[in-house]
Structure 1
Amino acid sequence: MSEFTLQTPDSAPEAARPLLRGARDKMGFVPNLYANLANAPAALEAYFGLSAQFDKTSFNPVERQVVLLAASVENGCEFCVAAHSVIARKIAKAPDAVVDALRNRTTLPDARLEALATFTRRMVKERGWVAGAPLQAFLKAGFTHQQALEVVLGVAMKTLSNYANHLTGTRTNEQFASEAWKRQA
């Protein structure tokens, strides 16, 4: 049982209420990540801001989900892996083989997406120390220096949510349960 309160649009601190209402209106429910982040309205607002900025990157929807899933798997975030698996399959229309490979830490069937996932995993594991060969492999796969920095943005977004979920013990919403995932110990 978590020590943190799952906030609602009515119970949340005043500054978080409009954000939770907007999420509920858009999605039909409040994801538990948002309900937990609402305990610190600035954290919730930061997550929404990072997400909005990441959506503006040069990555297409599938590539964005590759970054977000690769980082979440690497960080062992059960909530985010489930949520982004649903988003990847149903909204971004990522191929099942791509989503399955990301979740299972196996090689992606698309070489370019594999390079993106590998670079993202290295970024997380090495805490950004990926200059040299890892960066050159990413660039050789057809990505740009701009996109290397955009990966950093996606990793920052997922670091915020993954760590918050670990701290708060966020449970997976029923809307994401079909993609439940357990981290490797």
Structure 2
Amino acid sequence: MKKIQVPTKEQVDAKAQQIFGQLEQSLGMVPNLYATIGYSSNVLEGFLGFSQAVAQSSFTKKEGEAIKLAVSETNQCQYCTAAHTALAKMNGFSEQDTIDIRKGTIADERLNVLVNTAHEITKSRGRISDETKERFFEQGFDEKALVDLVALVNLTGFTNFLHNATQIPVDFPAVPAINHQAA
């Protein structure tokens, strides 16, 4: 069976090489998953552009990381769970908060509704219950926020699915598996 390797800068086309250079400047590295997306420079360019657009959403950076972490856990993506745990901590979450987000039990009611709505969108392919929508809107979110949330779930799902399909090495600190409450 063919094993997918993380490409080096020399193994991707000129457009991807240029993007790798930009990533190195802004992040100090090219994460393995981004490098793997670089096999298709058009997809890498589109992904990064969509990422920038979604970053200007209804959510704070902290809320965005909570959503990405919840979706990554739901999709059982080791790479993205590790990456978004590290990023969540950089955005003010504690280790316990990241575990609670992954379990869908974070104490902050607004964040809890947000991560559980993201979980349901992911799990049900967008078919969320009326009760979930009602809780979402009761927290002060509006229709724009719902569109932004679905976009963020899908953006995160892309990287989750790519890692799950390729199983490239994780270049972020590993996170422990957690036990989920019965759903």
Question: Match for residue 175 of structure 2?
Answer: 180
Question: Match for residue 108 of structure 2?
Answer: 110
State the identity as a percent: 25
Deviations 1:43-62 (A, max 9, x none): 21222122101110121111
Alignment gaps of 5+ in structure 2: none
Q: CA deviation at 1:162?
A: 0.6
Q: CA deviation at 1:159?
A: 1.3
Q: CA deviation at 1:181?
A: 4.4
Q: CA deviation at 1:149?
A: 0.8
In structure 2, distance between residues paired with 1:182 and 1:7: 28
Q: Pairwise mapping of residues 91-170 of structure 1 onto structure 2 (< 5 A)?
A: 92-103=91-102, 105-130=103-128, 132-170=130-168
Question: Match for residue 42 of structure 1?
Answer: 42
Q: TM-score, normalised by structure 2?
A: 0.90
Question: Match for residue 68 of structure 1?
Answer: 68
How has the CA–CA distance of structure 1 residues 163 and 183 changed in structure 2, closer, same or farther, with 3 Å as cutoff? Answer: farther
- Over aligned residues, Cα RMSD in angstroms? 1.9
Alignment gaps of 5+ in structure 1: none
In structure 1, distance between residues paired with 2:108 and 2:143: 21
In structure 1, distance between residues paired with 2:89 and 2:6: 27
One-letter code aligned to 2:16:
A
Question: Match for residue 22 of structure 2?
Answer: 22
Does the 8 Å contact 1:73/1:81 carry over to 2?
yes
Does the 8 Å contact 1:77/1:183 carry over to 2?
no
Does the 8 Å contact 1:78/1:182 carry over to 2?
no
In structure 2, distance between residues paired with 1:12 and 1:183: 37
Matched pairs, number: 179
Q: CA deviation at 1:119?
A: 0.4
One-letter code aligned to 1:180:
V
In structure 1, distance between residues paired with 2:7 and 2:14: 11
How has the CA–CA distance of structure 1 residues 181 and 171 changed in structure 2, closer, same or farther, with 3 Å as cutoff? Answer: farther
Deviations 1:127-172 (A, max 9, x none): 0111522111111122111111111110111111011111111221
Does the 8 Å contact 1:98/1:108 carry over to 2?
yes
In structure 2, distance between residues paired with 1:2 and 1:110: 45
The secondary structure found in structure 1 opposite 2:11 is coil
Does the 8 Å contact 1:73/1:102 carry over to 2?
no
One-letter code aligned to 1:48:
L
The secondary structure found in structure 2 opposite 1:30 is coil
